[in-house]
Amino acid sequence: MLKTLFLNPPSYEGFDGGAGSRYQARREIKSFWYPTWLAQPAAMVPGSRLVDAPARGLSLDDVLPMASDYELAVLHTSSPSFPADAKVAEALKARNPQLIVGFVGAHVAILPEISLKTSEAIDFVAGNEFEFTIKEIAEGKSFEEVDGISYRDGDRLVHNRPRAILEDMDQLPHVVDVYKRDLVTDDYFIGYLYHPYLSVYTGRGCKSRCTFCLWPQTIGGHRYRTRSVDHVVSEIAKAQEYFPHIKEYFFDDDTFTDDLPRAEAIARRLGEMGVTWSCNAKANVPYDTLKVLKDNGLRLFVVGYETGNQQILHNIKKGMRIDWARRFSADCHKLGIKIHGTFVLGLPGETRDTIKETMHFAKEVNPHTLQVSLAAAYPGTYLYDQAKQNGWLVDSDTGGQLVDGDGTQVSSISYPHLTQDEIFQAVADFYREFYFRPRKMFDMTSEMVRDWELLKRRLREGGEFFRFLGTRQKSA
């Protein structure tokens, strides 16, 4: 077995670009997802080590000495961080020329050839379902024998046949063993989750076909392939034993509620264990299921509302109706399920009026907290091709820019009737309009007064948030 390092490489300071982040960027407030995509293969390679440089605050100088201790390094990359990650690969290779360097992640799965051509330090890139691919390489199989990779053979680039789709998801290992071995749970913050939290995936893929959404169109697919209820519950039981201080578990599947009977079955088991948990959901869960989930420990849903305009929902193929979202939100409020609502500005069909309509809608459905993002055209998505064909992609010559020089998200889309600057500015206006309302400020203050830990945390996050708004003001 090759001595293997799994590395979330250092890039921008505070960059939440790890092997668990859907849209990689430096956030308004400090935020890190667990590097679950790397933890999965790491759990299959005995003696390996997973290093999450951004979350640990490690620089290139900190990780470079590790190059000499390993024979194989597997780096997780993303579209925004790829140029920086390639430089890390070059530095590791310069330190240890014998080191085999492989890249994984949606970016290289979609663009294997361009990725390999970018840097000779990258020996191979792995496509989808890469856990068993990496295991086989770590076991010493030659590149020709391994499905699911593209690699360099002298001057030639070779593309092996794709890896078969994993159907029996219980073959995936429990990642909490790797979390325990290699990670520090306190490093991981998400503004709307209790701290410390812990997240895992219980399945892969999403049934919906939203045109902007990265993972289902690139690495997950449109079938929700799931681990069995027992496999999930036994991992949470193990995590409770390993990490008694964890306050909340998060199921970070694209849409945990895509299979309602299974979601209810998992909930009932978690309810018996007294677990507080949260998950990603689509705004179409019926009241009876909501009640079962809430009665069994569900605290919060992350809900992608995206927009308050029905035509934009059609344009992005969300398969959602504004009135369903209204009813779902009312049901959650009634049952006491908190919602972190996510919205995207600049999707096809956006105008100044639809931005106002979405702001109004957000205040109406009134999620507990919200996140407003800029439409991001990632290679491999329908939106990317659409934006390119229609001339909406900013910096289209370079494939579209997703973040600026310090890793903060920038508008990658601009329309003749709505410029990238207007979309960018609207994000800060949206936050102000939503949070600086007497009702919202009263609710948030009351919540903080009742919870000392929350108060301390909100004060820190508040400072970061105001700095973010200030930066937007300056750059407007």
Interface segment toward ligand SF4; rule CB under 6 A; list 3-11, 202-210, 410-418, 426-434: 202-210
Contact status: 255 vs ligand SF4 (CB under 6 A): yes
Q: Do the beta carbons of residue 222 and residue 207 sit within 8 Å?
A: yes
Contact status: 213 vs ligand SF4 (CB under 6 A): yes
Give the count of residues interacting with ligand SF4 (CB under 6 A): 9
Contact status: 348 vs ligand SF4 (CB under 6 A): no
Contact status: 375 vs ligand SF4 (CB under 6 A): no
Residue 22's nearest CA partner among 13, 31, 12, 9 is: 31
Residues 257-296, one symbol each (x = binds ligand SF4 by CB under 6 A, - = not), give -------------------------x--------------
Exactly one of 9, 112, 216, 400 binds ligand SF4 (CB under 6 A); that residue is 216
Interface segment toward ligand SF4; rule CB under 6 A; list 103-111, 207-215, 369-377, 378-386: 207-215
Interface segment toward ligand SF4; rule CB under 6 A; list 90-98, 203-211, 270-278, 394-402: 203-211
- Pick the closer one to ligand SF4 by CB: 210 or 232: 210
- The one-letter amino acid at 302: V
Q: Do the beta carbons of residue 81 and residue 104 sit within 8 Å?
A: no
Token pair belonging to 194: 């209790």
Contact status: 254 vs ligand SF4 (CB under 6 A): yes
Exactly one of 78, 96, 160, 208 binds ligand SF4 (CB under 6 A); that residue is 208
- Pick the closer one to ligand SF4 by CB: 4 or 307: 307
- Pick the closer one to ligand SF4 by CB: 26 or 282: 282
Contact status: 20 vs ligand SF4 (CB under 6 A): no
**Beta carbon of residue 312, minimum distance to ligand SF4 (angstroms, whole number):** 13
Interface segment toward ligand SF4; rule CB under 6 A; list 125-133, 209-217, 422-430, 443-451: 209-217
| Alpha carbon distance 326, 462 (integer Å) | 29
Q: What is the dihedral of CA 137, 139, 140, 146, to 10 degrees?
A: -40
- Pick the closer one to ligand SF4 by CB: 206 or 374: 206
Contact status: 206 vs ligand SF4 (CB under 6 A): yes
Contact status: 341 vs ligand SF4 (CB under 6 A): no
- Pick the closer one to ligand SF4 by CB: 54 or 216: 216
| Alpha carbon distance 25, 16 (integer Å) | 5
Q: Do the beta carbons of residue 132 and residue 140 sit within 8 Å?
A: no
Interface segment toward ligand SF4; rule CB under 6 A; list 151-159, 205-213, 404-412, 430-438: 205-213
Exactly one of 18, 304, 400, 407 binds ligand SF4 (CB under 6 A); that residue is 304
Contact status: 150 vs ligand SF4 (CB under 6 A): no
| Alpha carbon distance 370, 1 (integer Å) | 45
**Beta carbon of residue 210, minimum distance to ligand SF4 (angstroms, whole number):** 3
- Pick the closer one to ligand SF4 by CB: 213 or 403: 213
**Beta carbon of residue 216, minimum distance to ligand SF4 (angstroms, whole number):** 5
Binding residues vs ligand SF4 (CB under 6 A): 206, 208, 210, 213, 216, 254-255, 282, 304
